[in-house]
Amino acid sequence: MAVTISEQVKQLGLETHVLEIEVDGLTVVPPEVHGIAMDRFDNMVELLLAKSEQMIGCPFTLDRGPHGDLEFSPKAAGLSAVDKDNRKPGQFLIQQLGRHHRLFRDLAINPVAVALMRHMIGDDAARFSSHNSFVKWQDDFGYGPTLGLHCDQTQMPRPWGRAALTANTNWCLTDYTKEGGSFAYVPGSHRLGRRPDQPRAASRAVPVECPKGSVIVFHGATWHGAFPRLIPGMRLSIANYYRHHMVMSQEDIRATFPRHLADDCDDPVLFKQLAGFNDRFPYAEQAQPVPVLANA
């Protein structure tokens, strides 16, 4: 089947990356292509380390990770099965990044990332789902032998078509290496249209090794996870996740995101469109016209 290339993709010179997504389900875009300066990544790292200290109560540094002995409370909501069995955490999630600083809002509307999302999901159909950061440090177990492999659109009924129901970006705020806990994926798995089969899936997973400032872009049906971080220090990343407008978002951005913050970014019109502020659904009041009495 022929691949349709949008004018925006052509203008940005992303044809090779589109081909890699079509074949492998994933591509790595370097800083010289997406255009974000390295000092902005440095600033985002500082913001996330400070936020981590605020949330946890101890300093975090790139060379050491948390300066304290951490654990998950057994009563904590949302713990995965892995976390319940292994309460010594190796990572946590900072959610709702778009509310914390303009840098994170600008990242979510990066033209290159948005063009690739629209290629996979649809020009007019792509919307935000969530903006989060994975804060990760040394932990020999990680997600365990399965590597946490999954596909992001796994809850959607099958069969899945070629178009992505969701698609994701993983912005690398530190260097990604296998021993440093890099992203893991199974090339071409998005074309299978199903969930990973374990343990075979983990045996086929490969690391995505790339330098700080890269962005990993992948299809919602691509099997992915992460290798454990076996060395001291931290792996920081930002996951800006997108969806088809008929798929429920992870974060309730449309209903709860402060509108004035949407105006404080590189492209407020694009941010508001991707946030779905003017979408017809879901409606909160009578949205369809009601007839009136003639000659009343």
Q: Is 283 exposed, middle or buried (0-12, 13-18, 19+ CB in 10 A)?
A: exposed
Q: What is the pLDDT of residue 11?
A: 97
The C-alpha atoms of residue 174 and residue 248 are separated, in whole angstroms, by: 31
Residue-by-residue DSSP string for 135-162: EEEEESSTT-TTTT-B-TTTTSPSPP-S
Q: What is the pLDDT of residues 228-276, one digit of tens each?
A: 999 999 999 999 999 999 999 999 999 999 999 999 999 999 999 999 9
pLDDT digits (tens, 9 = 90+) for 45-81: 999 999 999 999 999 999 999 999 999 887 777 666 5
Residues with Cβ within 8 Å of residue 120, at least 6 apart in sequence: 21, 163, 164, 167, 219, 220
* Selection from 88, 103, 3, 86 nearest residue 45 by Cα: 103
The CATH T-level fold of domain 7-68+82-275 is Jelly Rolls (2.60.120)
Tell me: the pLDDT tens digits for 95-129? 999 999 999 999 999 999 999 999 999 999 999 99
**pLDDT at residue 295 in the model:** 86
Q: What is the largest CA-CA distance in the chain?
A: 79
CA–CA separation, 209 and 206 (whole Å): 9
Mean pLDDT of the chain: 95
Ordered by start, the domain boundaries in the chain are 7-68+82-275
> pLDDT (tens digit, 9 = 90+) per residue, 20-41?
999 999 999 999 999 999 999 9
Residue 1 has pLDDT above 70, yes or no: no
What pTM was computed for the model? 0.95
Residue type, position 274, single letter: L
